[in-house]
Amino acid sequence: MSSVCPFAKAACADGGCPVKHEKQSRQQAECDDKVDTKSNDSASVDGGCPMKHEGNYNRHKAECDDKVDTKSNDSAVVSPKCPFGYDSHTFKLGPLSCMICQALLYQSSKCLPCSHKFCKVCISRFKDCPLCGADIEKIEPDTELQVTVDRFINGHARIKRVSADGQEVDGKKNVIYGDVSMERGAFLVQQAMRAFRAQNIESAKSRLSLCAEDIREQLQTSDDTSDLCLQLGAVLGMLGDCCRAIGDTGSAVTYYEESVEFLSKLPAKDLELVHTLSVSLNKIGDLSYYDGDLESAKIYYIRSLDVRRNAVKEHSNASSQVVDLAVSLAKVADVDRNLGNEDVAIDGFQEAIKCLESLKLDSNEAGLEQRCHSVLDFLHSQLADKQTPVSNSSV
């Protein structure tokens, strides 16, 4: 994929970098001038029809195009870096994207006087425009642009939609946006993840809510519901993460519990399902833990532990599941320690250590190896210092 500047979509119809586009235009104009001169000279001599030389023009124009393309390809050998980080390894942003969070615009706003468009939450953190550097004097909502974004989502990005004649359209069709083609649900989830990473939580919640709504509708009419339940469980878990990020603990627990409800309907044979289910259970346990309800936290931690134990039995070669199992053992052990069951807690920490020390990792699992060492260091510290609380990470 060619390198792209963040100004590209707005500046050039073809989506190319405006600087490169201008250079190519000058080269093309020079070629066109040469052709026009030759054509005019020939026409004045023989007095024939000026369209007679159209063939010569097209051949010469093609040669010029080849030269321009060759120069472009040569310059692309060393991929130019955009100052905002949008290099050739990132997907091309579309005209409805926020240049800060890189997701579809949500609560579209323009900063004045330059009128560049961003999500309201994103641009509110800046005093200068991130694109041109101009002082931001005022931020105004861009209602018309947001209507366009919403129409794009409803017409192209949602899993299920209705055609003009009222007939239901197949939800498996893809959405194409900014050189990216993917299934509709996956597109909304991708947009939500981009917004979440940029701390635009309301945008992420909006996209995930649409996705969950569409999947629920699909569940009512579909015969094969296993994949849909897995997708809905994951989306509900992410909605819980959004609520947790803004401090809405009650709503977060509700989403996590609903996620568990859907995922528990499926046979725990798929590793992705096992991971998503156990993580949702652990997150409910984490919220109960931080709320001081240790007994409730222990119930959810044990449920997660049971899911992971069974997964290790079913998939003995799944190294990541062994690490997850060790983390669950540590969570339960920590609660036991806080409840005064010190001997039980020590047994739990020691079992977790044995799991990790017996794990054989391949050379291509460097990331997992680093995580394994990190958990091991923590477990050893728990045995050395009995007063250190467990960090209830969302795993």
The answer to whether residue 311 is domain-embedded is yes
Q: Is 286 exposed, middle or buried (0-12, 13-18, 19+ CB in 10 A)?
A: buried
Q: Residue 109: beta bridge partners?
A: 118, 141
The answer to whether residue 339 is domain-embedded is yes
- The domain in which residue 366 lies consists of 302-383
CA distances from 336 to 39, 185, 279, 297, 341 (A): 91, 41, 20, 11, 5
The answer to whether residue 307 is domain-embedded is yes
The answer to whether residue 209 is domain-embedded is no
The answer to whether residue 350 is domain-embedded is yes
Q: What is the pLDDT of residue 160?
A: 52
Confidence of residue 158 (pLDDT cuts 50, 70, 90): low
The answer to whether residue 186 is domain-embedded is no
The answer to whether 192 and 103 are in contact (CB under 8 A) is yes
- Considering the chain, what is the average pLDDT of its residues? 74
CA distances from 47 to 44, 52, 59 (A): 5, 10, 22
Give residues with Cβ within 8 angstroms of 234, minimum separation 6: 259, 276
Residue closest to 287 by CA, chosen among 392, 146, 211, 149: 392
Higher-confidence residue of 11 and 233: namely 233
Higher-confidence residue of 308 and 94: namely 308
Q: What is the pLDDT of residue 52?
A: 37
> How many independent structural domains does the chain possess?
1
The answer to whether residue 342 is domain-embedded is yes
The answer to whether 98 and 118 are in contact (CB under 8 A) is yes
Q: Each residue of 40-57: pLDDT tens digit?
A: 444 443 444 433 334 443
Q: Each residue of 164-202: pLDDT tens digit?
A: 444 444 445 555 544 444 466 788 888 899 999 999 999
Q: Each residue of 304-333: pLDDT tens digit?
A: 999 999 888 887 677 888 899 999 999 999
Q: What is the pLDDT of residue 299?
A: 96
The answer to whether residue 308 is domain-embedded is yes
